[in-house]
Amino acid sequence: MKKTLASKKFVVAVVGATGAVGAEFIDLLGLNGISADRVRLFASERSVGKAILVGGQPVMVESLKPDCFRGIGIVFFSAGKGIAKAWAPQAIEAGAWVVDNSSAFRMESAVPLIIPEVNPDALDQCKGPSIVAVPNCSTIVALVAATPLHRVAKVRRMTVATYQAASGAGAAAMRELESQAQAFVEKSPMRTEIFGRQYLFNCFSHNSAIGPEGYNEEESKLLYETRKIWSDASVRITATCIRVPVLRAHCEAIGLEFETPLSQARAREILGAAEGLEVVDDRINNRFPEPLHAAGRDPVLVGRIRADWSLPPGMGIQMFVAGDQIRIGAALTGWRIAELIAARMTH
């Protein structure tokens, strides 16, 4: 994707600068040539005054306050939906674009929900500074892999089983998993404040609230966000979302049923040429996507590509994917959205 944000002169701000996703976004600013004098950082009061390095130069953390977004071009929010609801409209009023990583605005009809590899043209509905929503991490990882096949054969039904890392619950959950590993080695009691149970050597239903139909919020997001991103209310989707003791990369087992036939060989060819994907599908050596190999990397890894034997020949594909939840599942997608916004800004 063409780099345009670094060539612009406006200021970029990060709200939630001390969180896992905010920190990753700040790293991306430095790696892509955004100098410290073009960055402002915001976080909770306990972090105000802390110095964070941007491209090797310190930037002081500020507190959110009235008119704090004046003179800023793009604000990246990664501080939860309550903060986004309260402060994103103020950023828009100040003339800034907002890239929001929370769930606050995703399903609002006036807010584009964008995965740059999938539906960049959704930004066209914005005629000036607006809120642009980053989809949920599990939706991003699934659709970067599924959309190239959907474009060719049209997906009529998608089944997803997710294996979700601690990072999706924040930096504190990652620290708790690490502390449980240390406690196991030391034979001491394990801390269980985040999930209320042992996470190490365990897996359990995703910790989001379960609705009256029996689906949790994470599973519902996969349905409703996919329909919005694909602009297709007819696609049928079901998901089961599980927490597994992995630090930062989500895995997903995805089954696709097509409207028109698509061979296994053609599916592999399409995935191999798709933006944002890396095929890892070594059947001889049993090497397929793993969270350890996806962590800290940009692409979604895809493998276990095979025909779905439960469907007529050519009508379904099964595959397994892994993607870094903090990076492609949040910060990197936010960065790429900011690049799209910068490409259309004139100042």
List, by residue number, the catalytic residues: 137, 250
In the chain the first and final C-alpha atoms are separated, in Å, by 21
Q: How many whole angstroms separate alpha carbon 20 and alpha carbon 248?
A: 10
Q: How many whole angstroms separate alpha carbon 143 and alpha carbon 224?
A: 13
CA 35 to chain centre: 25
**3-class DSSP state for residue 346?**
coil
CB atoms within 10 A of CB 310: 10
Please give the full DSSP string across 297-321, using - where no structure is assigned. -SSEEEEEEEE-TTSSTTSEEEEEE
DSSP bridge pairs for 279? 302
Q: Both tokens of residue 66?
A: 């009235």
CB atoms within 10 A of CB 200: 15
Q: What angle do CA 215, 151, 251 make, to 5 degrees?
A: 45
CA 102 to chain centre: 10
- CA distances for 103 relative to 10, 53, 78, 81, 84, angstroms: 26, 28, 10, 6, 9
Q: Both tokens of residue 345?
A: 């800004």
Q: How many whole angstroms separate alpha carbon 316 and alpha carbon 88?
A: 41
Per DSSP, helices labelled H in the chain are 20-31, 81-93, 137-153, 171-186, 217-230, 264-273, 291-294, 332-344
- Reported residue count of the chain is 347
